[in-house]
Structure 1
Amino acid sequence: MAKRRIFISFDHDDTAQANGFMGLRNIIDNFDFYNHKLDHRINSTDIEYVKRVIREEYIKSASVTVVLIGNKTAQSPWVKWEIEESLRQGKGLLGIRLKGAWGAVPSGIAPDAVGDWQPDKFASWIEWAHKRSMKLRSLS
């Protein structure tokens, strides 16, 4: 299996759990996890600049966008934009519900592309999302 670069999208309120998810990179082979919220060089109030960096340096090079779904994720304008941009670029899209979360699934994520917190399944789900995006691209 080829190495997959994963862009992680999440609401700021879920940073602690997102950090836990990204810690899985130490036990899941063939995946690199990236998240712009930890990149201090794009700590800017210029929204267009931040979007350009996210679009060109994070989403563009990703195979799959994983949206970590917490209680307020569906209301996050940044998560909404990251989903829209990922879809526009034809990236695989996967939603993973965080432990104990009850929030709505953000729009743009297909119902069959959402899973509960089951770390032993994440690798196969990410690969599924990538293959699904490749199939959808070949149909368009």
Structure 2
Amino acid sequence: MAKRRIFISFDHDDTDKVNGFFGLRNIIDNFEFYNHKLDHRINSTDEEYVKRVIREEYIQPASVTVVLIGNRTAYSKWVKWEIAESSRQGKGLLGIRLKDTDGPIPEGLPRNHVGDWQPDKFADWIEWAYQNRE
């Protein structure tokens, strides 16, 4: 299997839970995880600049966008934009519910592309999302 570059989209309120997902980097082979929210270079109030950097440096080189779904993720304008931009670029989309959360599925993320917190299945799901990109 080819190495997949994964763009991670999530709501800032879920940073602590998201760190648990990033811990999986050490046990899941063939994946590179990237997320701009952990990149302090993008510290700007210029929304168009931020979108351009996310679009060109994070989403464009990714194979799949993984949306980590917490209780309020569906209400994040940035997550909605990242899903829409990923879809526009034809990226695979996968939603993973963060452990112990039950928030709604964000707009633009197909319901059948969402799974619960089951780390042993993530690698297969990511490959499935790549194979089923539109």
- Shorter chain as normaliser: what TM range? over 0.9
Tell me how far 1:20 sits from its aligned partner: 1.3
Alignment map for 1:1-140 (pairs within 5 Å)? 1-133=1-133, 136=134
Tell me how far 1:75 sits from its aligned partner: 0.3
Give % identity: 78
Tell me how far 1:97 sits from its aligned partner: 0.4
Tell me how far 1:123 sits from its aligned partner: 0.1
CA distance in 2, matches of 1:78, 1:19: 19
- Residue ranges of structure 2 left out of the alignment (5+ in a row): none
Give 3-state SS (helix, strand or coil) of 2:132's partner.
Answer: helix
- Whichever residue aligns with residue 19 of structure 1, its letter is N
1:81-104 CA-to-partner distances (Å, cap 9, x unmatched) read: 000000000000000001111110
- Whichever residue aligns with residue 92 of structure 2, its letter is G
CA distance in 2, matches of 1:123, 1:65: 13
| TM-score (norm. length: structure 2) | 0.98
Tell me how far 1:47 sits from its aligned partner: 0.6
Give 3-state SS (helix, strand or coil) of 2:5's partner.
Answer: strand
| TM-score (norm. length: structure 1) | 0.94
4+ long deviations beyond 3 Å: none
Tell me how far 1:16 sits from its aligned partner: 1.0
Give 3-state SS (helix, strand or coil) of 1:42's partner.
Answer: coil
Tell me how far 1:17 sits from its aligned partner: 1.1
Give 3-state SS (helix, strand or coil) of 2:68's partner.
Answer: strand
Aligned length: 134
CA distance in 2, matches of 1:49, 1:19: 26
Tell me how far 1:53 sits from its aligned partner: 0.3
CA RMSD of aligned residues (A): 0.6
